[in-house]
């Protein structure tokens, strides 16, 4: 990619971030306060995409955003998309429909009846698979999915998420040979919200302090 | 069998989704045939054709409804595809399996009083659909219709009708196997 294309894509991506921030606010998906995450860790913000399934037009637009990231940062040729259940599977489905790419998914538990397997869908040795999930925190569930797909012969080099929570996921995935791509990052969403007057700066600062603390730990 | 059903039957047969052998099913039942539609979304053109047929059945024969409710991860791709085609909200209800926790049985939301249509890939005994219906009803939505791709004719229609739920299917296993006419 030449310099100009890189610059244009960076600009396009910042427009995407802004649009995503607007969609998320509309869905009530960005919450600020004192939350306990599923990992047990406390967080001053929470991303709740529970209302997304109720708004097909928002889901469609978000799927387009993933496809734009795929096109510009990964390339769409000869690719399969893998959904990470539970929340990543509907998104991966919407992406696969939009880009007309084959979909597979990783089971949360191996099938106990019928045939025992961890991967659902057509996966052959040597297939290139891109992982799709909604959010990444430390990258644990993406790494687990990559392991299962690799064990079945698939090649995994990229993962695409909607929002990077910037808690080490990118670095952890890189160590496993997987590049993380995100439509947006929590720090970018914060900046947009703050500049649009949708978030008091003291709350934004709390989240920034939290993210810096994560970086040090 | 209609032209559409014949076309669906050939897609499912050609993609190896109807397997012959001795398979253990849920609840310890065994069967000579195993219907596994999980790989369908791996074939975008076939997936589009099948989900378009589902969307047609829903818009032409089911009447006005508020939300599609897919059963488990297995039905999530179908549910999302039809939701996007018809621009209707969806939710996914977790399957009743021992290893699932029920802290949150639902991905998405349900609103009190809305008419929800259950969606799954395959109906066998109907126990899975019946469990899902009771969860969806407990969460306040109305359920009177379930739609599946393939009905295996193993009692789901009868079980669901005792719960006031009509089962609709695109095709039955016997049609796929080239046997009897689809029951009305």
The residue-averaged pLDDT of B15-34 equals: 73
B134 vs A9, B77, B155, CA distance in Å?
Answer: 49, 22, 18
Residue A61 touches partner B, C-beta closer than 8 Å? no
Collapsed DSSP state (helix, strand, coil) of residue B144: strand
A129 vs A84, A85, A107, CA distance in Å?
Answer: 12, 16, 15
Q: CB distance B39–A121 less than 8 Å?
A: yes
Q: What is the CATH architecture assignment of A3-216?
A: 3-Layer(aba) Sandwich (3.40)
Q: What is the ipTM of this complex?
A: 0.93
- Residue spans of the domains in chain B: they are 3-176
| Per-residue confidence in pLDDT tens, chain A, 217 aa | 568 888 999 999 999 999 999 999 999 999 999 999 877 889 999 999 999 999 999 999 999 999 999 999 999 989 999 999 899 999 999 999 999 999 999 987 766 555 557 899 999 999 999 999 999 999 999 999 999 999 999 999 999 999 999 999 999 999 999 999 999 999 999 999 999 888 889 999 999 999 998 866 5
**Residue pair B50/B149 in contact by the 8 Å Cβ criterion:** yes
Q: CB distance A104–B92 less than 8 Å?
A: no
pLDDT 10s digits, A185-206: 999 999 999 998 888 899 999 9
Environment class of B152 (CB within 10 Å of its CB; exposed 0-12, middle 13-18, buried 19+): buried
Phi, psi of B132 (to 5 degrees): -60, -40
What residues form DSSP beta bridges with B18?
B35
- Taking contacts as CB-CB distances below 8 angstroms, the residues of chain B near A122 are 39, 42-43
Collapsed DSSP state (helix, strand, coil) of residue A194: helix
Interface test with A, best of B37, B41, B48, B72 (most A CBs within 10 A): B41
Collapsed DSSP state (helix, strand, coil) of residue A79: coil
Q: How many CB pairs under 8 A join A and B?
A: 110
User: Within 10 Å of residue B154's Cβ, how many Cβ atoms?
Assistant: 17
- Residue spans of the domains in chain A: they are 3-216
pLDDT score for A108: 78
Residue B6 touches partner A, C-beta closer than 8 Å? no
pLDDT score for B127: 94
**B-contacting residues in A 142-201 (Cβ below 8 Å):** none
CATH topology of domain B3-176: Rossmann fold (3.40.50)
| Residue in chain B nearest A102 by alpha carbon | B42
Q: CB distance A54–B89 less than 8 Å?
A: yes
* Strand B106-107 to B90-93 pairing: antiparallel
> Residue A179 CA to chain centroid, in angstroms?
12
**Residue pair A70/A95 in contact by the 8 Å Cβ criterion:** yes
Q: Which of B23, B39, B92 sits opposite A120 (nearest CB)?
A: B39
pLDDT at B165 exceeding the cut of 60: yes
Task: List all residues 6 or more positions away from A184 whose beta carbon is below 8 Å from its beta carbon.
Answer: A13, A16, A17, A20, A21, A162, A163, A164
- Return d(Cα B116, Cα B136) in angstroms, integer: 8
Q: Is the peptide bond before A86 cis (omega within 30 degrees of 0)?
A: yes
Nearest to B101 by CA among A109, A119, A91: A109
């Amino acid at each position: 990619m030449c310099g100009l294309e890189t610059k244009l894509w960076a600009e396009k991506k910042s427009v995407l971030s802004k649009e995503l921030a607007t969609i998320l606010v509309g869905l009530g998906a960005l919450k600020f306060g004192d939350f306990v995450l599923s990992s047990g860790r406390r967080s001053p913000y929470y991303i709740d995409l529970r209302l997304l399934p109720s708004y097909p037009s928002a889901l469609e637009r978000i799927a387009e955003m993933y496809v734009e990231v795929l096109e510009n940062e990964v390339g769409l040729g000869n690719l399969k998309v893998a959904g990470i259940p539970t929340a990543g599977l509907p998104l991966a489905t919407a992406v696969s429909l939009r880009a007309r790419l084959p979909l597979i998914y990783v089971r949360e538990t191996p099938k106990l009846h019928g045939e025992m397997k961890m991967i659902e869908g057509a996966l052959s040795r040597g297939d290139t698979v891109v992982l799709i999930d909604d959010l990444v925190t430390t990258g644990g569930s993406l790494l687990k999915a990559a392991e299962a797909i690799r064990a079945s012969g698939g090649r995994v080099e990229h993962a695409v998420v909607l929002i990077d929570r910037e808690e080490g996921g990118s670095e952890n995935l890189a160590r496993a040979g997987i590049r993380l791509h995100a439509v947006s990052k929590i720090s970018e969403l914060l900046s947009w919200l703050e500049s649009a007057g949708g978030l008091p700066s003291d709350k934004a600062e709390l989240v920034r302090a939290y993210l810096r603390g994560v970086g040090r730990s | 069998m209609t032209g559409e059903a014949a076309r669906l039957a050939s897609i499912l047969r050609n993609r190896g989704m109807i397997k012959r052998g001795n398979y253990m099913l849920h609840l310890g039942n065994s069967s000579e045939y195993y219907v596994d539609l999980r790989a369908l979304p791996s074939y975008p053109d076939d997936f589009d054709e099948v989900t378009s047929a589902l969307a047609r059945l829903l818009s032409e024969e089911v009447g006005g409804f508020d939300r599609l409710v897919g059963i488990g991860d297995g039905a999530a791709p179908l549910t999302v595809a039809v939701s996007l085609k018809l621009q209707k909200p969806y939710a996914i209800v977790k399957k009743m399996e021992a290893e699932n926790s029920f802290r949150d049985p639902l991905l998405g939301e349900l609103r009190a009083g809305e008419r929800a249509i259950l969606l799954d890939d395959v109906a066998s005994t109907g126990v899975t659909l019946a469990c899902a219906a009771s969860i969806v009803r407990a969460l306040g939505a109305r359920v009177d219709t379930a739609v599946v791709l393939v009905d295996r004719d193993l009692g789901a229609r009868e079980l669901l009708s005792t719960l006031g739920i009509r089962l609709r299917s695109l095709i039955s296993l016997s049609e796929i196997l080239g046997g009897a006419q689809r029951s009305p």
